């Protein structure tokens, strides 16, 4: 069953030495690029998927829309897919439905954050609010009660530093979520210094893995974060941002030059596109199964 396979692979990745490094993607092509680059897993990013649909990362898309993308990525790669499930799409009942659906889709881990529904992306200023600790602990317990196989990981994402509630609150929440059954906690932060995350890691004493997302505090390396105690590092949106920059430059150059000769060396050849699509396998299958005359 794919759900067990992906979740077991993620648990194995946690057992290996060094940081578990995962990359954000919003479609199977992106997931395959992460796999080829050598990442340990794929982050089914709410920001990336929302942006790829041209809408804000604010629970505008429905759970079903986000799930369809996560499922398509899990089907396209052997890597485990860690799904960003925002605030769980509602209350504890919604979370239970969500967990059953994501588990059946072959997802290795689900991450939910302690914000009210509808959430707003952590880096958008304003409306960064938290739900009460016990309400979110109830959602974590509901998620654990809903899973059908023990391997699925439930990651509790703490937004206290994003919302400006401080380190003590972040730690208090992390402890409460672990008590509720979380398999890992994700401590998120904004700002360009890794210092708050390093402090959190230093003060984190529980034997439950900590996940970090160095989007704005990007000078710190994955190895440095790992040495400080982080087990998983998520490069959540660099792929999306790279493609926005590359496509914008390419489109501008085509209009400027009136042809594509100048940019040909910097765009992927069609052979690479075919390779990523699995055209070789298509041809093998044709040789095997099409009864040509
Ligand atoms: C996402 O990728 O949707 C995330 C990570 O939640 S971030 O956008 O960095 O908050
Ligand atoms: Mg998100």
Question: In ligand 1, which atom is closest to the CA atom of 213?
Answer: 9
pLDDT number for residue 5: 80
CA neighbor of 10 nearest in space, from 102, 113, 137:
102
pLDDT number for residue 82: 98
pLDDT number for residue 68: 98
Of the bound ligands, which one is closest to the alpha carbon of residue 49? 1
The secondary structure of residue 266, as a DSSP letter, is G
Of the bound ligands, which one is closest to the alpha carbon of residue 217? 1
Minimal-distance CA residue to ligand 1 atom 10: 122
285 CA from centroid of ligand 2 (Å): 38
234 CA from centroid of ligand 2 (Å): 11
44 CA from centroid of ligand 2 (Å): 9
Model confidence over 229-274: pLDDT tens digits? 999 999 999 999 999 999 999 999 999 999 999 999 999 999 999 9
Number of C-beta neighbours around residue 123 at 10 A: 14
Question: In ligand 1, which atom is closest to the CA atom of 113?
Answer: 6
Minimal-distance CA residue to ligand 1 atom 2: 45
Of the bound ligands, which one is closest to the alpha carbon of residue 59? 2
Strand blocks (E) in the chain: 20-25, 41-44, 81-84, 109-113, 153-158, 184-187, 210-212, 232-235
Residues with CB under 6 A from ligand 1: 24, 45-48, 57, 84, 121-122, 213, 215, 236-237
pLDDT number for residue 279: 97
Model confidence over 13-32: pLDDT tens digits? 999 999 999 999 999 999 99
What number is the average pLDDT over the span 41-50?
98
Model confidence over 137-188: pLDDT tens digits? 999 999 999 999 999 999 999 999 999 999 999 999 999 999 999 999 999 9
* Whole-structure pTM value: 0.97
ipTM for the complex shown: 0.98
Q: Which residues pair with 186 in a beta bridge?
A: 157, 211
**Active site residue ranges:** 57
| Measured distance CA(128)–CA(47) in Å, rounded | 16
Query: Would the pLDDT of 3 be above 70?
Result: no
pLDDT number for residue 293: 67
45 CA from centroid of ligand 1 (Å): 6
Question: In ligand 1, which atom is closest to the CA atom of 162?
Answer: 10
CA neighbor of 236 nearest in space, from 65, 74, 76, 111:
111
Instruction: Look up residue 91 and give its two tokens.
Output: 């209350």
The pLDDT confidence band at residue 1, using thresholds 50, 70 and 90, is very low
Model confidence over 103-131: pLDDT tens digits? 999 999 999 999 999 999 999 998 899 99
What number is the average pLDDT over the span 213-236?
98
Query: DSSP assignment of 166-180, as one string?
Result: -HHHHHHHHHHHHHT
Query: Would the pLDDT of 2 be above 60?
Result: no
- Return the ∠ at Cα 89 (arms to 85 and 92), rounded to 5°: 105
Answer yes or no: are the C-beta atoms of 200 and 210 closer than 8 Å: yes
Question: In ligand 1, which atom is closest to the CA atom of 47?
Answer: 3
90 CA from centroid of ligand 2 (Å): 15
């Amino acid at each position: 069953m794919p759900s067990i396979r992906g979740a077991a692979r993620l648990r194995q990745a946690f057992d290996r030495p060094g940081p578990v490094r995962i990359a954000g993607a919003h479609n199977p092509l992106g997931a395959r690029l992460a796999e080829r680059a050598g990442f340990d897993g794929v982050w089914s990013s709410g920001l990336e998927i929302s942006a790829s649909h041209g809408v804000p990362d604010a629970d505008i898309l429905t759970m079903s829309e986000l799930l369809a993308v996560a499922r398509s990525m899990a089907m396209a790669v052997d890597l485990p897919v860690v799904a960003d499930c925002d605030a769980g799409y509602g209350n504890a009942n919604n979370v239970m439905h969500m967990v059953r659906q994501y588990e059946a889709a072959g997802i290795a881990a689900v991450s939910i954050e302690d914000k009210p529904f509808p959430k707003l992306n952590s880096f958008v200023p304003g409306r960064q609010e938290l739900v009460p600790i016990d309400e979110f602990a109830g959602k974590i317990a509901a998620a654990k009660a809903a899973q059908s196989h023990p391997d699925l990981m439930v990651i509790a994402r703490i937004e206290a530093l994003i919302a400006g509630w401080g380190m003590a609150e972040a730690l208090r929440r992390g402890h409460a979520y672990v008590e509720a059954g979380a398999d890992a906690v994700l401590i998120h932060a904004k700002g360009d210094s890794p210092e708050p995350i390093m402090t959190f890691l230093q003060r984190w004493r529980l034997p439950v893995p900590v996940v970090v997302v160095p989007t704005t505090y990007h000078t710190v390396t994955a190895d440095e974060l790992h040495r400080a105690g982080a087990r998983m590092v998520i490069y959540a949106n660099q792929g999306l941002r790279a493609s926005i920059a590359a496509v914008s430059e390419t489109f501008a150059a085509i209009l400027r030059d009136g042809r594509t000769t100048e940019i040909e060396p910097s765009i992927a050849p069609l052979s690479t596109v075919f390779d990523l699509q699995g055209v070789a396998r298509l041809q093998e299958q044709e040789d095997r199964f099409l009864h040509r005359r």
